[in-house]
Amino acid sequence: MTKILVIEDEAPLRAEITDILLFEGYDVLEAGDGRAGLELALAHSPTLIVCDISMPELDGYGVLDHLRRHPEHARTPFIFLTARADRSFMRHGMELGADDYLTKPFSRAELLSAVHARLERSSAINASFVSDLEDAKAQITRLVMEEMQAPLVPMRLVTDIIQRQVDKLTPAMLQELIAGMSAGVDQLSRVVDQMVYLTHLETGILKQEVIQESGKPISLNQTLRRAAELGSTLTQRTDSPVRVRTSARDVQVFAHAQALTRALAELIAEVVNSSMPSTEVIITLNVKRDQAVVSILQERSFQGGQGMSLGTLVAHGIIEAHGGKIEYQAISETGTDVIVSLPMPVLQPAK
């Protein structure tokens, strides 16, 4: 049953709205102020929220702002009730993520029309989201299969050669074949690690709320150096050196240290893999306002982008779980600058 939360401090109006919605067959929750309404919304995840703006304690804007910070409530339809109808007043609510307004006094038909319209739109958006999610899962499955098959083919070939010609192989040949097998094992191990991180992202072990609760401020200068070392081991390339230029100050971000290191290492490895031989990859760290900005630059790269790999998919998920973002900027005709922006924590001064 569709569950609607009504947040209104005027008891007669709240009762009238509740009666109308109950008569239409909706399951209705009631709250007499914003704070109680927010608690009900977080506890019961209503399908739609009808909320007054002007309330004591916590107004409607505050309720909406708090809810939109929770990913599970980011798409919940939200209808404001207000006695004011000026444009600036409505625009502020829309900027916070409101879906509709009802100006008091309103009729039964106006209320139901707004509710029906928002529910229908929400249903269409959710259907599209599910479709996109299924497409994304299919893409991930395809990437996993491709990246697991890549090292398996040469490993099977090496196994076949050893089985058929073991008596004809010299020690040098065996060493070369074993080295190939070892490289394949390392590549498969990387795919397994990537799948573990994808699982953590999918199940919510790595999400913004969890990181905010269990993470801690870490030195991004040190993290970048560790990520550069790990990134160099994730790639089979040795002809593209990686140089790190950290900030003069100790830049700190709030993070899950291991996951963030892995995300940056995956990006570094992807940049190295796509660069031309003997191209130096330069990593720089700067601070812009309240953001730590990491630049992974290669000035000469192969053209004809390689598309989204499993590694970059993992990196995007982890960076987004930290409240950050990844952008790609073209340098001249062949170069690429991968820019990672991460929010910096507001640290309390020592007492």
* Two structure tokens written together for 345: 């924590």
* Distance in angstroms (rounded) separating the CA atoms of residues 208 and 74: 13
* 224 burial via Cβ count (<10 Å: 0-12, 13-18, 19+): buried
Class of domain 3-106: alpha beta
> Are the C-beta atoms of residues 115 and 50 closer than 8 Å to each other?
yes
> What is the pLDDT, as a whole number, of residue 348?
40
C-alpha distances (whole Å) from 134 to each of 128, 130, 137, 144, 199 are: 10, 6, 5, 15, 16
> What is the pLDDT, as a whole number, of residue 334?
56
Query: What is the CATH superfamily name and number for domain 210-343?
Result: Histidine kinase-like ATPase, C-terminal domain (3.30.565.10)
> What is the pLDDT, as a whole number, of residue 61?
87
pTM of the model: 0.58
Q: What SS3 state is found at 7?
A: strand
Sequence ranges of the domains in the chain: 3-106, 140-203, 210-343
Cβ neighbours of residue 119 closer than 8 Å, sequence gap 6 or more? 2, 47, 48, 77
φ and ψ at residue 233, rounded to 5 degrees: -80, -25
One digit per residue, pLDDT tens: the chain, 351 residues? 789 999 999 999 999 999 999 999 999 999 999 999 999 999 998 999 999 988 888 888 888 888 877 767 878 888 988 876 555 555 565 666 677 888 888 899 999 998 998 888 877 766 655 555 566 666 667 767 777 777 777 788 888 888 888 888 888 888 888 888 888 888 888 888 888 898 888 888 888 888 988 889 999 999 999 999 999 888 867 777 888 887 767 888 999 999 999 999 999 998 888 777 777 888 999 888 788 999 988 766 544 344 568 888 899 999 999 999 998 877 665 567 889 999 987 544 333
> What is the pLDDT, as a whole number, of residue 305?
43
* Two structure tokens written together for 296: 């992974």
Cβ neighbours of residue 245 closer than 8 Å, sequence gap 6 or more? 282, 283, 284, 285
Strand order in the sheet with 281-288: 242-245, 281-288, 291-298, 335-343, 325-331
> What is the pLDDT, as a whole number, of residue 183?
80
* Two structure tokens written together for 320: 């987004």
> What is the pLDDT, as a whole number, of residue 218?
93
* Distance in angstroms (rounded) separating the CA atoms of residues 4 and 29: 6
Could you tell me which residues are beta bridge partners of residue 296?
A: 283, 338
